[in-house]
Structure 1
Amino acid sequence: MYDHENTVELQEFGFVLITPVLIPRDDLLLLLRPISIRQSVGYLLTQRRNAWHSTMLNQYSSSEPIFTNLRSAQKAAERHRKSGTYFEISEKPILAFNLGTESLIVAHLNDLPPFERWKVPKLFQESETLICARDLVRAFGQVYFGQTYSGWCSKLGRPEVIVGFASTVSLEQPRTSQRFGLRKSQVQSGNMHFSLLRTAGLETRELARVALDLSDRGVFEREHPWEYRVSTYASVWDLPLLETIIKLLEANFSAYSGNSWIDSRKVREFFR
């Protein structure tokens, strides 16, 4: 469902799809340096099939498409529906690396909590060259699992990961809560609609930890070494900007606006 032909088709119909990294198409994007990192939400679309005796064949594959908003996932399901199948849309926390107009997206599937077994690769700590999007793809992508520039622990098995690109402006703001939903399609009078089956709490602290670890190692472009903006802290902590400013001001940091630069080493020391 997530092959190159379908990817092109989904893009042509205006769906905000997180497109998988493809070489040589994305060569120029892969050379860009990340500006910042934030948490967002992805909508994973999975097609299910009704089998004999009402038994469900629920085979999961990380090749399923993932979108940056719910409406796009619903529109894609409507276009691909056929007899004997139904769809599920599950909300997933994602990491988004801002490259400018495009962002590199990483979704870690199935493991709880997501990204718990990802660590900053040793190469990031020792390299004297600037980190670019290609390095991040190698560090997070399951294709590179077990290699020296991968951040996944090889002893714990290959992770289920989706890595791709999406328009930066299409990304949703971080959740104020840590509850994520699962929706199932139904057809009534010839029209498909989705009902919310359930919501479940999902711990996202590891996403914040990854963001801080990468920031501490100077992965992102910034005006001053080891610093990043208050707005980035708000995204990492899943807090409103004003609440983040107040929190930092109470700790005697010079957080006067979302654009104020704060030393991440001092923040880590104060709040650990």
Structure 2
Amino acid sequence: MRLFYLILPFIIFWLIFNVLSIIIGIFYVYRESSIIESFRFVLSDNLFWVSLKNSFFYCIIVIPLQLISFFIAFVIYKLSDKQASFFRMIFYLPVVIPIASIGFVFKVMFNDEGVVNDWLFKFFGLKIPFLSNYYYSMLVAFLLTFWKGLGYYVLIYLSSLYSISKEIIENGVLDGMNFFQKMWYIYLPLVKGTFYFASFLSVLSALKVFAEIFIVTEGGPGTSTYTLMMYIYSRAFYSFDLPTSIAASFILSFIVILVSLFIFKKQLESAKIV
């Protein structure tokens, strides 16, 4: 019963700002316009499909983040305690820095006269329009997400690696396993569940990405980085069309639920196999 009282503030907070907001949103859409009409407008809006495509593309490019995070975590796992503590701090430091500060720094670094272009021109004679090019702008936004979130996923994989029993690894050594065999038959199977969990978190973050895009590119140039959250925000605060914004939010919530169920199912299957 004491544990219930400990989590009670969180439950109240969650009910007020999540469940209650959904109920209010449904009533608002119903009062202001037809719910079906709002969803019909969203689904017929070409800009919505562009934003959805960009959001899914953002989800796809976060997959390498998981692989890189795991291998960095594995390298730290093999270090001594003092060295591992130092590198854990270094990699986790960007996670605690406010996104507004990091976004501003990236915007200054990657503009046409920024530090990155100065280096490229100095060493290679090149200047790349990172923030004004249709394709490079998405790359800059992804680099920001990658750099800020890397340490978080490294710690998740480290916690999984540290939980592996030393006896299992020692048995592998006694059986004559080399490095690649231990990686394939011991480490990867035992962290598979963690991989699905980290993928779940990263995909959800990618679907709901907003601050990185808004600060660095503001959805541009054109609609190259215009994500679903940007669409919801612009409909609500630029066009003042709250019913459409709420309808798009419900669609995003439905997509998040489907993705969550799929990854959760895969995680359960991997747990049964292990």
TM-score scaled by structure 1?
Answer: 0.25
- Normalized per residue, the structure richer in helix is 2
| Structure of higher RCO (CA pairs closer than 8 Å, 6+ residues apart) | 2
Larger Rg: 2
TM-score scaled to structure 2, two decimals?
0.25
Q: Which has the higher strand share?
A: 1
